[in-house]
Amino acid sequence: MYAYDELDRTLINERVEEFRDQVKRRLSGELTEDEFKMLRLQNGVYLQLHAYMFRVAIPYGTLSSNQLRRLAHVARRYDRGYGHFTTRQNIQFNWIKLAELPDALADLAEVGIHAMQTSGNNTRNVTSDQWAGVAPGEIEDPRIWSELLRQYTTLHPEFSFLPRKFKFAITASAHDRAAIKIHDIGLRLHKNAQGETGFEVLVGGGLGRTPFIAKTIKPFVHGRDLLSYVEAILRVYNQYGRRDNIYKARIKILVHELGIEKFAAEVEEEWRAMDNSALTLDDAVIEEIRSRFSYPAYEKLPHMPEELKTAAHDPLFERWRRNSLFTHKVQGYAIVTLSLKPVGGPPGDATAEQMDALADLADKYSFGEIRVGHEQNLALPHVAKRDLPVLWKALDKLGLATPNVNLVSDIIACPGLDYCSLANARSIPIAQELTRRFANHDTAELIGRLHINISGCINACGHHHVGHIGILGVEKNGEEFYQITIGGRADENAELGALIGPAVPYGDVADVVEDIVEAYLALRARPDELFVDTVKRLGIEPFKERVYATR
Amino acid sequence: MTSPLEQKIRITGPSIITANRTFDGAVIYRNRAQGWSTDLSEAAIVRNADEARALLAEAVADDVGAVGPYIAPVDIKDGEEIKPGNLREYIRLKGVTIDLLTA
């Protein structure tokens, strides 16, 4: 966990009081909606179909148990008893009253949580690998650099009014769990030939109306130069990014139109002009940030404790263990992913009761720490393996032990037309129906790793372009239709999926997905050939044929 | 951003003016008494562009009470209650179409 200092606490508290005054003036009519809109957006407040929506940042996906309890409190006190974890390590509350928002923010500020820059044309919440600091083989904890970026970008006067929103993601592992290639700036920590730590810098990734996979702009930027190099990129974007057309305002369009070589040259020139700038990080600054992260005092534990050997006789426990546990860097410990995708449930939602109970379990079994991943699941990052059987039973009682992590029913979905004012079609009912179709865990395990992503509009909050199966809601003559893509992926080999044919009506989507999955089972070369690899090998034609031959 | 009053108004059937209430975001409808109601049955009905423009202007003028007023279609059949004219408005009126974990 990162401990905020006095400056952080003062900043957050002052921001709450500033927003309280802005809300007061809006409600009295002193501020018009046109004047107020940008202010509320910079504090994470949207207006959706039914109510205001409040988006709260969970920087680099790390939460303490006390922070999770406070999120539960906000859900219960100011909302309707639940929250929705998003694809960018935020949580959203869907029924907040504007008049009560300052109080909710003040309650969150007491535990170091804020909503600054969770919306608006500025640098958004810095996201990272939800297993940061515990993943084996990691170069180093990417949250140290994420926190540096968070501090640098928060309320940065030069970058608070960019042409459009701007998102960072950082990974320090070979396997990318942070989806860095679909971010405006993706950073991959690695070491150069001299053994120095630095970053591969990727620019121009993003989904939405015009999707692009990010391109490498510089293979290695030394850690001490991270902020100056990032500032050079932001300056070039701020200068040349289009403000005349919202659909062409993201950095991905600038990179595409200039070409990556020209864009890189512009950044290099800007960066060289900043040589020896005040942004060059000395070791003391990095160490100061590093020192404010606390790490658990792990015990020396056996790799395979007796409790685990005994529990292995229970097939239900074993199924959960196979699909929820991941290797920890410390022997005797495990990373436990908690599925927020119960059969028939809205993906990513958690009730206040679940959050409170999970906070207690985190205190008991995970050194008081919880993680949030972009797949809309949670994780307990430091669980002693001896505790797994008792933890599993507790999670099962809470509805947090669905054994489907990374399987076909572990669906990523945006809120869609049930909540969102931008959506054209519903996402959640499609996801719910698919989880029912694939509710049989034996079948799901037979299918293997398969990511379905659903977005209710072209803005792509459900990351449908990079789903192994992507589902995009569109509207045709007042009816909901869905375009289906296959072959996308969001990891280190990120690719955009390919459209398989005409959009299908709402009632056909689950049948189409079943057809695609059946085709895959018949076509895969081996039982362990993943769906996405079969699509890569064969292309979309056999799947297209299967789906449209009878439609 | 273009004001709703500057946008071209084209309506093909009975319509209402809807918005969200400023203090809590609740869905509201412009009523016949120059106020707002959460009850669709109390909404003022407009049937042509001139009527719609006039009612919208009245709604936009209340910037303190309502956010983002716009014209939305409704279905009206003799002897039946007013119904939303599309799925979006149906969801705004009736709420989410899904089972919630808290249900």
Interface test with A, best of B70, B96, B99 (most A CBs within 10 A): B96
Tokens representing A254? 């600038």
C-alpha distances in Å from residue A429, one per residue of A82, A332, A423: 18, 40, 14
Amino acid B1: pLDDT: 58
Q: What is d(CA A15, CA A101) in angstroms, rounded to the nearest whole number? A: 13
Burial of A62 (0-12, 13-18, 19+ CB in 10 A): buried
Contact in structure between A482 and A472 (CB atoms under 8 Å): yes
Which of helix, strand or coil describes residue B11? coil
Contact in structure between A11 and A18 (CB atoms under 8 Å): no
Cβ–Cβ gap B25/A52 under 8 Å = yes
Q: Over the range A122-161, which residues count as b (16 or more CB within 10 Å of their CB) and which as e? A: bbbbbbbbbbbbbbeebbebbbbbbbbbbbbbbeeeebee
Q: What is d(CA A391, CA A333) in angstroms, rounded to the nearest whole number? A: 13
Contact in structure between B102 and A80 (CB atoms under 8 Å): yes
Amino acid B99: pLDDT: 82
Q: Which domains does chain A have, with CATH numbers?
A: 6-109 (3.90.480.20), 134-291 (3.30.413.10), 306-398 (3.90.480.20), 412-548 (3.30.413.10)
Residues in chain B closer than 8 A to A417 (CB atoms): 87-88, 91
Q: What is the pLDDT of residues B79-93, one digit of tens each?
A: 788 999 999 999 999
Residue contacts between A and B (CB atoms, under 8 Å): 83
A327 touches chain B (CB under 8 A): no
Q: What is d(CA A531, CA A446) in angstroms, rounded to the nearest whole number? A: 11
Residues in chain A closer than 8 A to B64 (CB atoms): 27-29
Cβ–Cβ gap A50/B26 under 8 Å = yes
Q: Give the distance from residue A113's alpha carbon to the nearest chain B alpha carbon, in angstroms.
A: 23
Average pLDDT, chain A: 96
Amino acid A22: pLDDT: 98
Contact in structure between A86 and A378 (CB atoms under 8 Å): no
Burial of A14 (0-12, 13-18, 19+ CB in 10 A): exposed
Residues in B lying within 8 Å of A, measured between beta carbons: 1, 20, 22-27, 63-64, 67-68, 86-88, 91-92, 95-102
pLDDT (mean) for A95-103: 97
Contact in structure between A50 and B25 (CB atoms under 8 Å): yes
In sequence order, the β-bridge partners of residue A486 are: A469, A498
Please name the residue of chain B whose CA is at the shortest distance from the CA of residue A419.
Answer: B96
A27: nearest CB among B22, B27, B87: B22
B26: nearest CB among A29, A51, A419: A51
In sequence order, the β-bridge partners of residue B67 are: B20
Contact in structure between A402 and A339 (CB atoms under 8 Å): yes
pLDDT (mean) for A183-191: 98
Q: What is the pLDDT of residues A327-381, one digit of tens each?
A: 999 999 999 999 999 999 999 999 999 999 999 999 999 999 999 999 999 999 9
Name residues 459-488 of chain A within 8 A of B (Cβ): 478, 480
Q: What is d(CA A491, CA A506) in angstroms, rounded to the nearest whole number? A: 29
Tokens representing A32? 């018009």
Amino acid A456: pLDDT: 98
Residues in chain A closer than 8 A to B1 (CB atoms): 34
A47: nearest CB among B23, B68, B101: B68
Q: Which positions of chain B have pLDDT values less than 70?
A: 1-2, 103
ipTM of the complex: 0.94
Amino acid B9: pLDDT: 86
This model's pTM is above 0.90: yes
Please name the residue of chain B whose CA is at the shortest distance from the CA of residue A426.
Answer: B97
Rg (CA), chain A: 23
Contact in structure between A495 and A242 (CB atoms under 8 Å): no
